[in-house]
Amino acid sequence: MSDHLLDPIVTANREGSRRGIYSVCSAHPLVLEAAFHQALEDGSPLLIEATCNQVNQEGGYTGQTPADFRGRVAAIAEECGFDPARLILGGDHLGPSPWQDQPAETAMAKAEALVAAYAAAGFTKLHLDASMPCADDPTALDDAQVAARAARLCHAAEQAVGDRCGELRYVIGTEVPTPGGAHEHLDGVAVTTTDDLARTLATHRDVFETHGLADAWARVRGVVVQPGVEFGHSEVVDFVPGEARALSRAIAAWPNIVFEAHSTDYQTPAAYAELVAGHFAILKVGPALTFALREALFALEAIATEAPGIDAPPLGASLEQAMRDDPRYWQAYYEGDAEQQRFARRYSLSDRIRYYWTRPEVAANVEALFDTLSRRPMPPTLISQYLPDGYRAIREGRLAAEPRALVRQHIQQVLAAYARACLPESR
């Protein structure tokens, strides 16, 4: 079995060290740039993941195949001076999700091709998730069906890399509710029970071994559970360590495995530390990073609007127009009247606006904003008004008074909270 950057982190966490790793779930170049800079500052490995709907063999909603995504991430890493040997690429919720409206066999064949494409492209952390029903399935699949489909996906990944299969690490399981933020009012989220944890792990282990995948099972490093965290449009369900204590103790019975926690966005720094201490050693973050990106870009637009002698590109207006012209990424999520929907499009924590940054007219306005504010010095008082933390960093000589650097620094503040929880030496 080949060494993997995840292995010492998992081992240390299980032995009681407050060691973990955060997973950056975003394809936005500015977010990735910020992530590389944060990892460089911390001297840590960096885990970047793509989801099955975002990146797949058909292009996903980003238009990227796994090989495309790897190439773009590698290019940003090189620009930032980040050692590729410290980069982990992961695939999230790899399974039939993009093809749920098709019969199960059709969807699973495409899911096998998906997992194979990720593995062949050099993604070595693969979350196998076949929990979702397809067109001709019952409403819910039982554990044996889910495990059998996960085994099929695992076999496809192993076959795709041949002798290099020892490099692959797997995560199994799924969280409830649907990933990416809840759609409705939140009154609390049920923590996964210890019985459900044991059943998920035992069923997968037995099915993997039955399918001749015992060696692959030995490379399972994580199981996705619900620790009791979630976020909606304006609400966050905070982690309560006591409610997950029994779950945290139960993982001790399963060697070499830790928990992977999804939807940890917007938790407090103290919660991240408590999660890592409770063996939730892999913390996924996505919308909180693009939410911070949006905050910083809107702040720059406000600076450009208010600064004398500067013509501000219409960034916010172009985003609003793009979202109204193509509502498929937000319409099913944002309820209420027209004004409530307008507010949610801009400010919801679920951040559906993240799907629109790559639209040509929006991307052009972002670059125009950077160009405009790079050519004309930004008034320090306006930086203080709209990006006060960035202003302090400039005053202390830690940051250049440059628009792109301000955006990166704002995103890094989110990542730094994760880093402090996952890297005891960074505290």
Which comes out higher in pLDDT, residue 178 or 383?
A: 383
3.20.20.70, 3.30.70.20, 1.10.3720.10, 3.40.50.2300: CATH of 6-286+418-426:
3.20.20.70
pLDDT at 179: 43
What is the tens place of the pLDDT at every residue in 46-91?
999 999 999 999 999 999 999 999 999 999 999 999 999 999 999 9
- Phi, psi (rounded to 5 degrees) for 121: -80, 0
Residues 297 and 406: their CA atoms lie apart, in Å, by 9
Distance of CA 7 to the CA centre of its chain: 20
Mean of all residue pLDDT scores within the chain: 95
CA angle 196, 269, 188 (to 5 degrees): 40
Is residue 4 scored above 50 in pLDDT? yes
Instruction: Find the mean pLDDT for residues 216-236.
Output: 97
Query: What are 335-355's pLDDT values in tens digits?
Result: 999 999 999 999 999 999 999
Say what the pLDDT of residue 424 is: 76
pLDDT surpassing 90 at residue 395: yes
**How far apart are the C-alpha atoms of 64 and 71, rounded to whole Å?**
10
Instruction: Tell me the DSSP string of 54-79.
Output: TB-TT-TTTTB-HHHHHHHHHHHHHH
pLDDT band at 427 (very low <50, low <70, confident <90, very high): very low
CATH numeric code, 290-413: 1.10.400.20
Give the tokens for residue 231: 């976020």
Instruction: Convert the pLDDT of each residue in 265-312 to its tens digit.
Output: 999 999 999 999 999 999 999 999 999 999 999 999 999 999 999 999
Domain map of the chain by residue range? 6-286+418-426, 290-413
